[in-house]
Amino acid sequence: MAAAEGLSRGAGWKRHIVKALKQRDRRQKATFQDVIQAYNRLLENTSFLLHLTGKIHTEFTDPQISHASRLPGVALPLPSSPEELQAMKQQYQEQVAELQSTGGELAYKIIELNKSLVAKDDKLEEQEARVSELDEEISQLEASRGCVRGQVERQERENAAVRQGYHVLLRCHQQQEEELRTAVHKGEELLQEMVRKKEQDAMARNQRNERKVHSRLTKEIRKAARKTVNIDMEREDLTAMDPKALSLDIPEPQDSERKINRAFRSASATMLSSSKFVETFKEIFDFRKRRVNSMCSPREDVYPRVPVCIASSIPAKAIFVLEAHDSEVNGVKFSPDSKLVATGGADRVIKLWDVVGGRLQRVQTLDGCGGSITSVEFSPSGNRILAASSDKAAHLWKLDSSKCKDTLTGHGDKVTAAKFKSVVHQAVTGSMDRTVKEWDLHKGACLRSINVPSFCTDVVCSDYYIISGHHDKKIRFWDSRVTRCTEEVPVQGKVTSLSINQEQTQLLSCSRDDTLKVIDLRMNNIRQVFRADGFKCGGDLTRAIFSPDGNYAIAGSADGTLFIWNVTTGQLEKSLQGTHSASVNAVAWSLSGEYVVSIDKKRTVVLWSAF
């Protein structure tokens, strides 16, 4: 049908061209029709005059010719004298010459017009040939158009089938997402129920233990109340007495170092009733009166203090370079004894390296993480590693096992930082879901979730505060004894990292305005700002740290250069360049002060030393 329509349109166009050519011929012919008729009349008149002149000449030269032989019906004026005849002859000759001249001009015009007509006929033939070629080309294009239209129709049918399949898959995907959300919600409910049951079991166990302790204390106090103590006894006599007679078997609190090493000063003590003894000892040894909401209660178990570095050596040269991971390296940390280095990257594994003779030798690989690792941290005891990951969780390993021991889930987005607290079995994580969470590592449960106004990029923990850095260019201080932020310190750029010195008196922040700032934690104000020509923060999670002795601050730049500032003078101490070829993501300084390790976006790990 489409081909027939195309052919009819092509034929109509041809007829239009032929019609236009015929109209042009008619117009040109009508233009010269009068000239042709006038020329024909002129030829007839010329022939007639030639004939008449010859005849008149014959008659005048031969008078014998009778008038009867003249043309009938032609009345010619007869000259009366030879002079008139001569004048008439001259007049006719002039007319004949004029007619001949006019006829010649007309003949020339006719020749020119014939030439133009021939040229136009040739042009018309060329146009007709061109029309034929165009007709053939139109036919070919129509055929090609039909093929293309068929392909388009087939493609549309295929697209419709693919679209229908896509809608079916989309509905299945939406249904599966709904099922996943339902399963996740049920899992969270089950997890909360499990945690609640564990808490209830712990409370019940604590109550049973308290009842047992209370019962044992009551018996021991009653037993002790029935004994009589001689106030005149010497210390040696008391020491020689049966310990069971004097001991009440009462657990001593951890923060108390005093021992009951002397007898009562008054015999009236033996007259106290057992109920009064119970109340007195309950006030002294009631463990329920701890400040469970404080950051680090004096009665809680805390990690032993890490030895303080006396002096850090400023790194001067790269002594070992290797390609440590399969992709970008994001986190690095020295162990407390400075013998191990942990690195973690986008390849989802943590690698442990032994520092031996100025080289890094891999000793262990920790896997089990479901996303890119953003930071790594050794516990203060050095036997565990905590890593933050982009799979919305933090992961905990023991060094004696390469498998993940525990996973801290509950964040809704990428976890950017995970740090151990000074209290044993507790940790803190920060995430891009705008929350900071405190965790009980023994139970694997979240103790508290803090909603923050902006993305959290890093966290550090002191004995009394949790400090978090954010994308809204602010550093916030949180105290577990209250439910709100206790202090905010604004900076001029998005915070990328935080580092606290050993004395917990200064805080180092790195931000996207290409500066490092030292904050006095006693006054909560900015004390120093470090800048340098060529230093540029390479990413939103670029890490800068204090040296172990707190005298220096080190950070990596986007061009691969390491910059070291003197905290005391505020001046740039040294810059190390030429080893890294990509942006430096993080640095770590050994607690011994001897080595520095830096990592970059091109999987390179560099060990630096002063010697």
DSSP string, 515-576: EEEEEETTTTEEEEEE--TT----STT---EE-TTSSEEEEE-TTS-EEEEETTT-SEEEEE
Q: For the chain, what is the largest distance between any 2 Cα atoms, rounded to a whole number of angstroms?
A: 213
Residues 6 or more apart whose Cβ sits within 8 Å of residue 465: 295, 477, 478, 479, 486
Q: How many CB atoms lie within 10 A of CB 366?
A: 24
Q: In the prediction, which pLDDT does 71 show?
A: 46
**280 & 326 share domain:** no
**282 & 409 share domain:** no
Range of the domain at 542: 317-609
**332 & 413 share domain:** yes
Exposure string for 138-150, b = 16+ CB within 10 A, e = fewer: beeebeeeeeeee
**570 & 489 share domain:** yes
Q: In the prediction, which pLDDT does 19 show?
A: 84
Helices and strands counted in the chain (H then E): 5, 28
Which residues does residue 525 pair with via DSSP β-bridges, in sequence order? Answer: 520
Tally of domains in the chain: 3
Cα–Cα distance between 95 and 27 in angstroms, integer?
Answer: 33
Q: How many CB atoms lie within 10 A of CB 11?
A: 11
**126 & 218 share domain:** no
Q: Specify whether the CB–CB gap between 429 and 394 falls below 8 A.
A: yes
Specify burial of residue 180 (Cβ count, 10 A radius: 0-12, 13-18, 19+).
Answer: exposed
Cα–Cα distance between 38 and 71 in angstroms, integer?
Answer: 26
Residues 6 or more apart whose Cβ sits within 8 Å of residue 246: 224, 238
Q: Is residue 74 part of a domain?
A: no
Which residues does residue 342 pair with via DSSP β-bridges, in sequence order? Answer: 333, 352
Q: Is residue 284 part of a domain?
A: yes
Angle at 63 between CA 61 and CA 66, to 5 degrees: 130
**217 & 93 share domain:** no
Cα–Cα distance between 206 and 92 in angstroms, integer?
Answer: 157
For residue 334, what is the DSSP state? E
**142 & 238 share domain:** no
**525 & 428 share domain:** yes
Q: Is residue 298 part of a domain?
A: no
Cα–Cα distance between 559 and 577 in angstroms, integer?
Answer: 9
Which residues does residue 373 pair with via DSSP β-bridges, in sequence order? Answer: 389
**99 & 224 share domain:** no
Q: Is residue 177 part of a domain?
A: no
Domain end call among 241, 272, 289? 289
Q: In the prediction, which pLDDT does 435 show?
A: 94
Domain with residue 362: its CATH number is: 2.130.10.10
Domain end call among 97, 132, 149? 149
Residues 6 or more apart whose Cβ sits within 8 Å of residue 265: 231
Q: In the prediction, which pLDDT does 73 show?
A: 47
Q: Is residue 69 part of a domain?
A: no
Angle at 17 between CA 14 and CA 19, to 5 degrees: 110
Cα–Cα distance between 205 and 182 in angstroms, integer?
Answer: 34
Among 511, 570, 563, 493, smallest CA distance to 534 is for 563
User: What SS3 state is found at 340?
Assistant: strand
Q: Is residue 227 part of a domain?
A: yes
Q: Is residue 306 part of a domain?
A: no
**26 & 104 share domain:** yes
Strand arrangement of the beta sheet that strand 445-451 belongs to: 415-420, 426-431, 435-440, 445-451
User: What SS3 state is found at 483?
Assistant: coil
Q: Is residue 134 part of a domain?
A: yes
What element of type H or E holds 93?
helix 82-225
What is the pTM (predicted TM-score) of this model? 0.53
**231 & 96 share domain:** no
**553 & 413 share domain:** yes
Q: In the prediction, which pLDDT does 225 show?
A: 78
Cα–Cα distance between 333 and 560 in angstroms, integer?
Answer: 19
Q: In the prediction, which pLDDT does 471 show?
A: 93
Q: Specify whether the CB–CB gap between 529 and 484 falls below 8 A.
A: no
Cα–Cα distance between 341 and 358 in angstroms, integer?
Answer: 12
Handedness of CA 519, 458, 562, 333 (dihedral sign): positive
Q: In the prediction, which pLDDT does 230 show?
A: 52
Tokens linked to 470: 């954010």
Residues 6 or more apart whose Cβ sits within 8 Å of residue 267: 228, 229, 231
Q: In the prediction, which pLDDT does 610 show?
A: 83
What element of type H or E holds 224?
helix 82-225
Low-confidence ranges of the chain (pLDDT < 50): 65-74, 231-300
Tokens linked to 280: 């007195």
